Amino acid sequence: MRVLTLGTGAGRPTLQRHTSATALEYEGETFLFDCGEATQLQLIRSPLKWGKLTAVFIGHLHGDHLYGLPGLLGTLSLGERQDLLRVFGPAGLKEYLRVHQETKSLWINYPLEVVEIEAPGLIFETERYQVFCAPLSHLIPCWGYAFRERPRPGAFDEAKARELGIPEGPERMDLVRGRAVKLADGRVVAPEGLVGPPRPGRSFAYCLDTRPCPEALQLACGVDLLVHEATFGSEYREEAHQWGHSCAEDAARAAREAGAKRLILTHISQRYTEPQILLREARREHPDSELAEDLQSFSVP
């Protein structure tokens, strides 16, 4: 499981930073959070297998989070995609895409499900994970997201399995899933002693664009990795809040109060030619903070 910050700038693209887009790679699936201009070019430059894209989550309808979506959807058609793609976002997203299709600027030849979010809570789940949303505090309706893996099986004792002569393959998988297995010599082996206690699932939260708000803390509660906007430094705090944004100190305080283990700062204003000042500000509140660059990868072990 890893997070790739594809676009880390605010408002408009620069030579150093593309507009907002973050990808989550999880067990062979890819999830995209926001899709700013030229996101598909960043995906091409990345190591992601983006043909395995499962879902896209759009925070709000400002262009720096959205303008890349029609191009990406169209390129997937050119690539002869056949699998269902789900796109989640605020009210108005269906109309936005409908206009592109009706004017023939967007052609989609695969199953596409566009879900306009109506209320906070669980919006997508499988046997392995759940995705939650909550409203953030921006100038227009804006959603933040949290990806939470369900509890994982305990660690498997490979050395002991070799001692017992358990072959690699389905027998070991059954043991990990808590089922006893019968070996070729007739022995029955139980998972006890071979599989440790269940491990907590991994988690990731995405909070762009927003002023400080309780809902961001809810999404980020206890997550392994929080990607949070840090558009400005604290010297522009009043301006940031006026325009529905956070400064780096706000992001770090949210991470600390929510108990997030790691914080990734993104959505950096182009006025910061030396953005390390934002990182220093954040680390005063949350020492395990990092400043994202385009195409940077962060593992979630």
**pLDDT tier at 277 (50, 70, 90 boundaries)?**
very high
CB atoms within 10 A of CB 141: 15
> What's this model's pTM, rounded to 2 decimal places?
0.91
What's the CA gap between 43 and 6, in Å, rounded?
Answer: 7
Dump pLDDT digits (tens) for 11-40.
999 999 999 999 999 999 999 999 999 999
The SS3 call for residue 268 is strand
Percentage of residues of the chain with pLDDT beyond 90 = 82
Which segment of 78-82, 137-141, 287-291 scores lowest on mean pLDDT?
Answer: 78-82
Domain residue limits, the chain: 2-151+201-299, 153-199
* pLDDT reported for residue 256: 98
Residue 54 host element (H or E):
strand 53-57
pLDDT beyond 90 at 268: yes
Mean pLDDT (the chain, rounded) = 95
Q: Is 185 a catalytic residue?
A: no
CATH for the stretch 2-151+201-299? 3.60.15.10
The predicted pLDDT at position 186 comes to: 87
Active-site pick, 34, 64, 209, 250: 64
β-pairing, 112-116 with 85-89?
A: parallel
Q: Considering only CA atoms, give the Rg of the chain.
A: 21
- CA gap 271, 240 in Å, rounded: 13
Q: pLDDT (tens digit, 9 = 90+) per residue, 183-242?
A: 888 899 998 888 888 889 999 999 999 999 999 999 999 999 999 999 999 999 999 999
When pLDDT is averaged across residues 162-181 and rounded to a whole number, the result is 88
Kind of pairing between the strands at 289-291 and 262-266: parallel
